[in-house]
């Protein structure tokens, strides 16, 4: 399959994160799948201003808009701004602190 997508304007489906992932109050994130192959999935994810936690899967992402930071369980901090490419390893606990609504394109193995 060969195709293109507009990740900046893609419509997202918003759902509330579980309360245990939202230490500072409710957060609803948006997501949509753009494409999948036998090996990869590609999608768009959006996080509003606020803080949430997660345990990651292997992922590569590119920040399209917004600002914030991801603190990894070993204390490292990934500063997020448009154009940043991030790599997350499976099993790493993260805290997402978003200062300006953040939208990213993500790629994961299927």
Q: Tens of pLDDT along 44-93?
A: 999 999 999 999 999 999 999 999 999 999 999 999 999 999 999 999 99
CA dihedral 87, 89, 90, 91 (to 10 degrees): -130
Give the start-to-end residue ranges of the domains of the chain: 13-109
The C-alpha atoms of residue 32 and residue 42 are separated, in whole angstroms, by 9
Q: Specify whether the backbone of 50 is left (phi greater than 0), alpha (psi in -120 to 50) or beta.
A: left
Q: Indicate the CATH number of 13-109 among 3.20.20.60, 2.60.120.10, 1.10.3720.10, 2.60.120.260.
A: 2.60.120.10
Give me 57's structure tokens: 């899967």
pLDDT tens across 11-31, in order?
A: 999 999 999 999 999 999 999
Find where tokens 């997020």 sit.
80
Q: Which helix (H) or strand (E) holds 13?
A: strand 13-16
Model confidence, pTM: 0.93
């Amino acid at each position: 399959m060969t195709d293109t997508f507009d990740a900046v304007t893609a419509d997202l489906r918003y759902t509330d994160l579980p309360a245990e992932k939202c230490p500072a109050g409710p957060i609803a994130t948006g997501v949509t799948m753009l494409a999948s192959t036998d090996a990869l999935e590609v999608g768009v994810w959006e996080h509003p201003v606020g803080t949430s936690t997660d345990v990651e899967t292997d992922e590569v992402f590119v920040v399209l808009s917004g600002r914030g930071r991801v603190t990894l369980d070993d204390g490292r901090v990934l500063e997020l701004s448009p154009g940043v490419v991030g790599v997350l390893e499976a099993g790493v606990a993260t805290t997402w602190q978003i200062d300006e609504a953040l939208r990213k394109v993500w790629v994961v193995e299927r």
